[in-house]
A and B are shown apart, each in its own frame.
Chain A
Amino acid sequence: MSQLTPVLSAHWDEKDSFTIEGYKRHGGYNAAAKALAMDPDAVIQMVKDSGLRGRGGAGFPTGMKWGFIPQGDNKDHYLVVNADESEPGTCKDMPLLMANPHVLVEGVIIAAYAIRAKHAFIYIRGEVTHVVRRVNQAITDAYKAGYLGKNIFGTGNDLELVLHIGAGAYICGEETALLDSLEGFRGQPRLRPPFPAIAGLYARPTVVNNVESIASVPAIIANGAEWYQSMGTEKSKGATLYSLSGHVNNPGQFEAPLGITLRQILELAGGVRNGHKLKFWTPGGSSTPLFTDEHLDVPLDYEGVSAAGSMLGTKALQIFDETTCVVRAVLRWTEFYKHESCGKCTPCREGTWWLVQILRDLENGKGTEADLQKLLDLCDNIMGRSFCALGDGATSPITSSIKYFRDEYISHLTNGGCPFDAAKSTLFEEVLR
């Protein structure tokens, strides 16, 4: 039996997988029809029972999040889908939406019904023109089919779905920053409490879910909670998209039950690129502390990765082989955090400014070993001191890389510069020679 369980990706290889016809060919929108015939609370219960947890990084149980929305409060409720996918290494939602945007639309219909929302939004990052086209068309076609708008599926329920397109800001993946952005402000995180479930979009009860979380719902409704529960590990149920990238022979998307290991995935993908060996990797994007080849057998579920000192995150498995300078890699990520810091809080805004300078000096062989201590101490003053998780994330590559590769930092100093040949890390080394 295959170790892979394509559910979301099951029909991506069909040329018209992104069209409403292509989607309906395999039972698309039947789950929505089924859900709309259920009691909304029963839908929530089913998602709770399935064990589905947020696929955007934090892993919060999706059904429980829905259950936080106060009912009978006579307020508008909103559902917002976080399609801002920007965490370095993360590349699952965009191909999903390009290949099958309708599964998200169907998930939105079900989720909105469950939380009694008449208005839903998909907040998609702006740097993906063609994905935007696909999602926009899916929404238009769903309206035409009577799945969105007034009296959807003839059930008397109404649902408006608006595609909101971002404009380049990683921070908008943070749910409260996303809400501010959607309200027409600068995307900076909000003070919590109040939490979005109480006062989210327009200060109304709001659920914010990741694309993959919502897209997983139709299959759960169609196949039942037990089916979903049968996949995965004890506390991490179901299947998910693992995105393998970097120095591997065959990068790509692998939909597998939670708990699979990198070793298993690498085997499927034909291993680290020929002639090279694994040096370090991220389990779930750059904000999750680095792993090394010690961690090949860590179960890639929420608990397993956490127990090994990192986070499952977005399951963005970025693989770097021994040609890669970890200081250079970390410097570049740190430059990313500096570029994407929203500016609201001191530790993140100012901290990333200085972290970059110190790392740049180290990469260039300038500085002393004491600078490593300074780096770690600055990270200590940023981690847990920042307003949101962006600042925390900025410290992860630094602290984890110093933990595993302290000697490599030192070698930059003794070497008077980076001891690595950057050309060797590229995919076209031969051309450069």
Chain B
Amino acid sequence: MTTQESAPQITEVEMITVVIDGFEVTVPKGTLIIRAAEKLGIQIPRFCDHPLLSPVGACRQCLVDVEINGRAFPKPQASCTIPVEPNMIVKTQLTSPVAEKAQRGVMELLLGNHPLDCPVCDKGGECPLQNQAMSNGNAESRLDGTKRTFEKPINISSQVLLDRERCVLCARCTRFSEEIASDPFITLNHRGALQQVGIYENDPFNSYFSGNTIQICPVGALTGASYRFRARPFDLVSTPSACEHCASGCDMRTDVRRGKTLRRLAGDDAAVNEEWNCDKGRWAFKYVTAIDRLTQPLVRNADGELVAASWPEALAAAAAGLKGARAAVLVGGRATVEDAYGYSKFARIALSTNDIDFRARITSDEEGNFLASHVATSAVNYSDIDKADHALLLAFEPEEESPIVFLRLNKNVKKRNLKVTSIATKQSIAMDKLNAEFIRVAPGAEGAAVAAIALTAKSVILLGERASESAGLISAAVALADKTGAKLAWIPRRAGERGALDAGALGTLLPGGRPVADSAARVDIAAAWGVDSLPTNSGRSTSQIIASLAAGELDAVVVGGVDLRDMYNSVDAIAALKKSFVVSLEIAPSSVTEVADVVLPVAAITEKSGSFLNWEGRPRAFDSAVAESLNRSDVRILSALADAMGTSIMLGTVSATAREISQLGKWDGARVPFTPVAPVNPASPSGDQAIIASWRRLLDMGTLQRGEDNLAGTRRQTVAVISEKRAASLGVVTGDLLRVSNATGAITLPALVEDIHDDAVWLPRNSFGSQPLTDLNAVHGQLVTVVKA
């Protein structure tokens, strides 16, 4: 290991002992009474209290009697708002008749205006109000007058519905939106008994994090359109899972009813996502069934048609095409660690090559070098953000590209004023929320701006995957980290990239970060794998593999979960594959299927077990949620394919693969050296020209979001962004149509005049009506023409 480990910070936390219901408990100073009681197993009922939200003391359900130094408070106190103190004696409902009556009194009032519609309420069976009414309420109500009623339900977004008469006005949802997501699109409106949660009528609750409000709602007031009336909690089988959508690494729970995933919830992992997730992670799961899944192997026949085949036939056909061929492997960024390891081992043993790359996107050699030299097996993590004095964002839009990293940054900004700086072309909503210093540069000029940033050894540099699109940026970041001692983290967008890197799905690395070029590392792996030797030459990158296929320097390729349209020149790439022997492992037909010779269907995420490494390198293991599925993980199919080729890789199950990976461990020898790359000058636009910039929005046309229209309804508006200066020179105001074009094509979008570099135009990379990668073959740094449409 060469990553720098800072000395652990030892801060003395003062401990305080209090007596609750006659039992002593010792907790850190600052602990709230309600939490100290939990440590004793004493459950004080509560609604507004939430451990991750600031205390408000609004619902008054958690009233207890408190005495300090022998002096009792004259009235019961909200245990969710009062930190423990020395010599404090607390009596909860268990030992204080006053507290018990106060709680019953509040419960009666909460239930008074609550409808008795539990039998048709989605929350029924998992409802804190229902449960606590049973444990701390009266069976009969004395309140027999007229209940408050509202029109029900109202859509506060296409995805979130609100039944106001069920609401107990705990304000968890509004506080979450304000405190955690910084999206105060829902608020408390009106007052008194008519107080109600709501939106402003023209602006729906389109927060990327809106689903969390449903999850923390202690009653059935907020429901998701996609789950409403679909199931009862006791009909669901819940499986702990991990999110496959991005590299944030959310812990999740997947709820399945009779083999069908009905909902996913954020899991509780204090070190990673705390108790939150983003709406994509929560709701984008229908793609598994919505898309036209491949159900059986396909083999291209003599007429050039793909026809259904049996597994033995298909494996034999694949083995025949690959055996002895000059073959490479392309793995998509969504593979599990085990699957990526399978591809890695398959390439080295079955294909005898290091020609493997997991980067199915725009990449650079600078990036490949950096990943091998700095990122593989590194361990910068969320708590480094918590400790940082300054976070520098490079080619990284956290809210769009790794939402939980955004939430963690936001928490630190709100709680302790963390300084955030972003070097980018365009101001963003997230930068605004993070109060970030925005260093405005032309697309391509990012690297040159890095050196001037003042960081310290307590700073973190968060480098997005788009850094590969700006030559010299990664090198500048490495130099800044070297100079200042700041921690450098690479945060890819896709969930599988970091795991694939550490699994050796890269031309220069073997599993565990072992350099291909290091003979000791090769011996290590060869011994573990029981082979005599491993290929020694550095493998080709994704673009080199495609170029070599085109040039006839390679004959065959195994492709797993790659969409060729995620790269430049995808037309050429498809042509290159067309002339090669292609084995495709996929869940659904794709651009690769069209040119594949053998197609092998694989399991989707909910159908298999496995793990991801999130951006921190932290394992995120999950079990298969849909146990009945017959689909198999890639690694099992690769193992069968290797067997068919007569070169076994011995990875018959996911668990066996995981065991093998953990036995290998991490490389502790010298890392691949890093060779800096000099920045190039950004393009110089003239006249109507602008330099294009783009990023993918969290909610866009991504394949994994298919089938979820309610979620799609909360997408951000598709716009082309130009500066005030450019707008003036074009005679354009916000809302006018702009035409962005080059020799490849054109995109026409409504303009948004915003804070962006004057030389630039920004468009979303993969949104409805804006797909510059395929339509313009340009996404960052290239010149395009921008005119009023």
Contacts and interface: CB of A to CB of B under 8 A. Distances in A.
Is there a direct interface between A and B, measured as CB atoms under 8 Å apart in the complex?
yes
Interface of A: 169, 171, 186, 191, 338-347, 349-354, 357-358, 361, 374, 377-378, 380-382, 384-387
Nearest to B110: A346
Given A338-B192, A386-B60, A381 B108 contact: yes
Contacts of A341: 191-193
Given A381-B101, A384-B74, A384-B76, A346 B109 contact: yes
A191 B56 contact: yes
Contacts of A191: 55-57, 81
Contacts of A342: 191-192, 195
B58 A350 contact: no
Nearest to A171: B191
11 contacts: A186-B188, A342-B192, A343-B192, A346-B110, A349-B193, A353-B148, A353-B193, A381-B108, A385-B76, A385-B102, A385-B105
B75 A385 contact: yes
Contact of B192 (A347, A352, A377, A384): A352
Contacts of A358: 145
Contact of B188 (A171, A340, A343, A384): A343
Given A349-B193, A377-B105, A384-B76, 8 more contacts: A169-B191, A343-B194, A347-B60, A352-B192, A361-B145, A381-B101, A382-B105, A387-B58
A186 B197 CA distance: 13
Nearest to B142: A374
A348 B498 CA distance: 53
A374 B194 CA distance: 23
Interface string B33-64: 00000000000000000000001111111010
A346 B145 contact: no
Contact of A346 (B146, B168, B192): B168
Contacts of A374: 142
Q: Tell me whether chain B's interface is mostly helix, strand or loop, or mixed.
A: loop
A345 B58 contact: yes
Interface string B63-83: 100000000001110000100
B106 A343 contact: no
Most chain A CB inside 10 Å of its own CB: which residue of B57, B168, B193:
B193
Contacts of B109: 346-347, 350-351, 354, 381
Contacts of A378: 105
B17 interface: no
Q: Tell me whether chain A's interface is mostly helix, strand or loop, or mixed.
A: helix
Contacts of A386: 60
A343 B197 CA distance: 11
Contact of B59 (A340, A345, A380): A345
Contacts of A343: 169, 188, 190-195
A352 B193 CA distance: 8
A385 B102 CA distance: 7
> Top 9 nearest A-B pairs by Cβ distance?
A381-B105, A343-B195, A384-B75, A357-B145, A350-B109, A341-B192, A353-B193, A343-B191, A343-B192
Contacts of A345: 57-60
Most chain B CB inside 10 Å of its own CB: which residue of A341, A350, A351, A377:
A350
B670 interface: no
B575 interface: no
Contact of B195 (A339, A349, A385): A349
Most chain B CB inside 10 Å of its own CB: which residue of A171, A346, A358, A361:
A346
B66 to A, nearest CB: 13
A387 B57 contact: yes
B106 A346 contact: yes
B571 interface: no
Contacts of A384: 74-76
B112 interface: yes
Nearest to A371: B142
Nearest to A380: B105
B143 interface: yes
A350 B110 contact: yes
Interface in B80-123: 81, 101-102, 105-106, 108-110, 112-113
B60 A385 contact: yes
B61 A346 contact: yes
Most chain B CB inside 10 Å of its own CB: which residue of A341, A343, A351:
A343
B193 to A, nearest CB: 4
Contacts of A338: 192-193
Interface string B750-761: 000000000000
A251 to B, nearest CB: 30
Contacts of A380: 101, 105
B112 A354 contact: yes
A242 B61 CA distance: 39
Most chain B CB inside 10 Å of its own CB: which residue of A338, A340, A344:
A344
Contacts of B59: 345-346
A339 B194 CA distance: 9
B228 to A, nearest CB: 26
A341 B191 CA distance: 7
A361 B190 CA distance: 26
A341 B58 CA distance: 13
B169 A349 contact: yes
A384 B60 CA distance: 11
Given A345-B60, A380-B105, A353 B112 contact: yes
Contacts of B169: 343-344, 346, 349
Contacts of B101: 380-381
Given A342-B192, A346-B106, A381-B106, A353 B113 contact: yes
Contacts of A346: 58-61, 106, 109-110, 168-169
Contacts of B61: 346
Contact of A339 (B81, B106, B142, B192): B192
B478 to A, nearest CB: 41
A84 to B, nearest CB: 15
B784 to A, nearest CB: 43
B108 A340 contact: no
B140 to A, nearest CB: 12
Contacts of B145: 354, 357-358, 361
Contacts of A385: 60, 63, 75-76, 102, 105-106
Contacts of A339: 192
Nearest to B75: A384
A354 B193 CA distance: 10
Contacts of A351: 109
Interface in B118-133: none
Nearest to B194: A343
Contacts of B63: 385
A122 B517 CA distance: 76
B736 to A, nearest CB: 33
